[in-house]
Amino acid sequence: MAHVELRGLSKQFGAVEVIRDLSLDIEAGEFCALLGPSGCGKSTLLRMIAGLETVTAGKVTIAGRDVTQVPPAKRQISMVFQSYALYPHMSVRQNIGFSLEIAGAPKAEIARKVEKAAAMLQLDPYLDRKPAQLSGGQRQRVAIGRALVRDPQVFLFDEPLSNLDAKLRVQMRLELAKLHQELKTTMIYVTHDQVEAMTLADRIVVLDAGRIAQVGSPLDLYHRPQNKFVASFIGSPA
Ligand code: ADP
Ligand code: MG
């Protein structure tokens, strides 16, 4: 049994089908990248896994449980968005702990989890600052910290680094790789950036207009693209 199983997933917005009969297995502990050009349906697919978007047809199973009709908060997933979506009026500490507070966790437990996440993400010195007083990279770390404290089974990332400058993006890539090594959690990572997918993922799913063009390891896709779309997108010089 795979950790996340997608079976015959489709999504229609009006008359437009943006995800088309898509099936995919994602193994426990895997770092899986969903790679494709803008508009190919990556965010829609991720949001369907998260439960933020209803499915038109098909099934989402997480850890053997059919969650197709289960609300996001009960799927044991955490999602990190491109826009960070931090609460501007709250401190870093409050931002990271907020979901636990909402869930009614004891204060001591919240404090412990927030501090652990902050240490992992090198945010300790900034816990009492507001988001506006942070750099882009620090804000993104807060967004990751907020996902971390919920102890999710699955992390979903939607282009989390695309608002950062090139240098910071490289640094955050290394930090995400380290985070995955430490947590060994299943990670599903949406990106339109080939280099990001190639350097981070165990396996890359290339999406073309709502369908899977190819699934494979970075080396597989690079050396053995199965069609022109993948070849041009992964950019093998051959
Ligand atoms: P990606 O993340 O790969 O850039 P998206 O999943 O955001 O692509 O979008 C896929 C397609 O679905 C696009 O054509 C987009 O315009 C369309 N789409 C996304 N969300 C909606 C929506 N809520 N209503 C109508 N169309 C949408
Ligand atoms: Mg998107």
ipTM over 0.85: yes
Residue 238's pLDDT is what?
Answer: 44
**Do the Cβ atoms of 189 and 200 come closer than 8 Å?**
yes
In this predicted model, what pLDDT tens digit does every residue of 109-153 receive, in sequence order? 999 999 999 998 889 999 999 999 999 889 999 999 999 999 899
In this predicted model, what pLDDT tens digit does every residue of 30-55 receive, in sequence order? 999 999 999 999 999 999 999 999 99
Portion of the chain with pLDDT greater than 70, in percent: 98
Q: Which atom of ligand 1 is nearest to the CA of 158?
A: 2
Whole-model pTM: value is 0.94
Which ligand is closest in space to the CA of residue 47? 1
Cα 206 to Cα 106, 212, 231, 234, distances in angstroms = 43, 6, 11, 9
**Do the Cβ atoms of 24 and 46 come closer than 8 Å?**
no
- Pinpoint the alpha helices (H) of the chain: 42-50, 92-102, 107-120, 136-148, 166-183, 194-200, 218-223, 228-234
In this predicted model, what pLDDT tens digit does every residue of 144-200 receive, in sequence order? 999 999 989 999 999 999 888 888 889 889 989 999 999 999 999 999 999 999 999
The long-range contacts involving 169-176, CB below 8 angstroms and separated by at least 24 positions, are: 169/196, 171/137, 172/137, 172/140, 173/199, 173/200, 175/121, 175/141, 176/144, 176/200
Q: Which atom of ligand 1 is nearest to the CA of 192?
A: 3
Of residues 171 and 10, which shows the higher confidence score? 10
| CA of residue 41 to ligand 1 center, whole Å | 6
By the 10 Å C-beta count (0-12 exposed, 13-18 middle, 19+ buried), 71 is classed as exposed
| CA of residue 85 to ligand 1 center, whole Å | 19
220: its two tokens: 């597989």
